[in-house]
Amino acid sequence: MASEKGKVLLAYSGGLDTSCILAWLIDEGYDVIAFMADVGQEEDFEAARTKALKCGAKDFILSDMKREFVEELIFPAVQANAIYEDVYLLGTSLARPVIARGMIEAAAATGCQYVSHGCTGKGNDQVRFELAFYGLKPDIKVIAPWRNPEFYNRFAGRSALLQYAESKGIAVTQTKAKPWSTDENLFHISYEAGILEDPNTTPPDDMWKLTKSPAAAPDTPEKISIEFQRGIPVKVKVGSTGKEHTDAVDIFLTLNALARANGIGRVDIVENRFIGVKSRGCYESPGATILRAAHIDLEGLTLDREVRRTRDQIITTKFSEFLYYGFFFSPECDFVRGCIPASQKTVNGEVRLSLYKGNVTIEGRVSDEKLYDEKFTSMDDLEGFPAEAATGFIAVQAIRLKQSSRRGAVDRKTVYGL
């Protein structure tokens, strides 16, 4: 018999929080379907299924979203050189739209009127999930227990959750909880909260899960090459194995493995959340760190200067912010994403890199695009360029500066002395 209150699709992680939410939603009179997205995190999905069903879920849905995560989110972010506040490569932000879309589709398929999640009321993820839900299905109803006073007052503190879990027969992992929270997918893992909340605490060595430390990485560099077509990585050649990888997911996972082994991709940042507070996060984004370096390098060779300037100004900044703030399914993000491909027409070629103890070193790049012209650039070659043209160029550029200088020579001195 269907519940009166209706059906909820819950973003289920298998952890204590969402297991308690699952049970609580049932207490509240809802039918609950547990949903889990496989976005490449290391997880025992079968154990999660068993647990969810034991908690009372009517069903458990596991959706493999790795391919669309790579192809529809990660690769456009590579094309756009997306980055947040100069440091963060947006791993969590990129996964949210894929997961939210999977949930909306699963909710439609299973007749759920509600979706629910276990995000806290101070973070970015609640916003990212919910704005994605509303952008995809404006009339969806969202249940956010950690913003519901009934829930958060009842479960203030971990012990209340543990007690409730026990009362519901929910198995609690006996392993001691780490003194931080993590979120993992195939792009990255994030660490925050707990002991990391003091921005002056150095993350302990054993926190880092994905990558070797630079010190523990091999003493021999790994040499690879990455080929891009229209800004999308289409082939990776690995020196040590002699293998070529051409499938999108395979490319990304291969780069991940290489970067993890060579200590690449750790960052530690105090960032600005959308809700206006600062937050300290540590991230490992191994393969993405290589891809970003290679893509930027190839753009140097193949992208027109002013196309790059224009793209940087609008696409890179805006797309990164839209992702971080949760506006992927918005008219403005549709617009900006629609402009990406036109910016990447010439970004074709191959970049050679060396990976060594945390360093990603560009060793060379080639392209059939003809935007770089050795002879033309050569300082030694006087042919092909009228040196006098530069005289005229400078003379014209100087017109405005001379005018301004004549007007206020004194000012210039004063300003300089600042």
The overall longest dimension of the chain from CA atoms, in Å, is: 87
Q: Looking at 96, 101, 292, 308, which residue is catalytic?
A: 96
96 is a catalytic site residue:
yes
Residue 198 engages a second copy in binding (rule: CB under 8 A): yes
Residue 205 engages a second copy in binding (rule: CB under 8 A): no
Residues 6+ apart with CB under 8 A from 125: 92, 96, 117, 119, 183
Give the residues across from 114 on adjacent strands: 8, 141
The whole-angstrom distance between residue 159's C-alpha and the CA centroid of its chain comes to: 33
- Residues 4-63 binding a second copy (CB under 8 A) are none
Cβ proximity of 95 and 130 under 8 Å = no
17 is a catalytic site residue:
yes
Residues 6+ apart with CB under 8 A from 115: 8, 9, 10, 11, 103, 104, 107, 133, 140, 141, 142, 143
Q: Looking at 181, 240, 330, 354, which residue is catalytic?
A: 181
Q: Which two tokens stand for residue 5?
A: 């209150």
Residue 297 engages a second copy in binding (rule: CB under 8 A): yes
Strand order in the sheet with 232-238: 244-245, 232-238, 222-229, 349-356, 359-366
Residue 374 engages a second copy in binding (rule: CB under 8 A): yes
Nearer to a second copy, 241 or 404 (CB): 404
Q: Looking at 17, 31, 183, 297, which residue is catalytic?
A: 17
63 is a catalytic site residue:
no
Picking from 94, 160, 104, the residue whose alpha carbon sits closest to that of residue 124 is: 94
Residue 163 engages a second copy in binding (rule: CB under 8 A): no
- Residues 53-112 binding a second copy (CB under 8 A) are 72, 81, 85-87, 101
- Number of residues this chain uses to bind a second copy (CB under 8 A): 139
280 is a catalytic site residue:
no
Nearer to a second copy, 2 or 389 (CB): 389
Nearer to a second copy, 253 or 296 (CB): 296
One-letter amino acid for residue 179 of the chain: P
Among 49, 188, 260, 318, binds a second copy (CB under 8 A): 318
Nearer to a second copy, 173 or 202 (CB): 202
Residue 141 engages a second copy in binding (rule: CB under 8 A): no
Nearer to a second copy, 114 or 356 (CB): 356
Q: What 3-state DSSP class applies to 222?
A: strand
Among 136, 161, 210, 248, binds a second copy (CB under 8 A): 136
**CB 49, min distance to a second copy, A:** 27
Nearer to a second copy, 176 or 400 (CB): 400
Task: Write the CA distances from 50 to 25, 56, 58, 165, 195, integer angstroms.
Answer: 18, 10, 12, 15, 32
- Residues 244-263 binding a second copy (CB under 8 A) are none
Q: What 3-state DSSP class applies to 205?
A: helix
Q: Which two tokens stand for residue 347?
A: 């970004």
Catalytic residue ranges: 17, 96, 125, 181
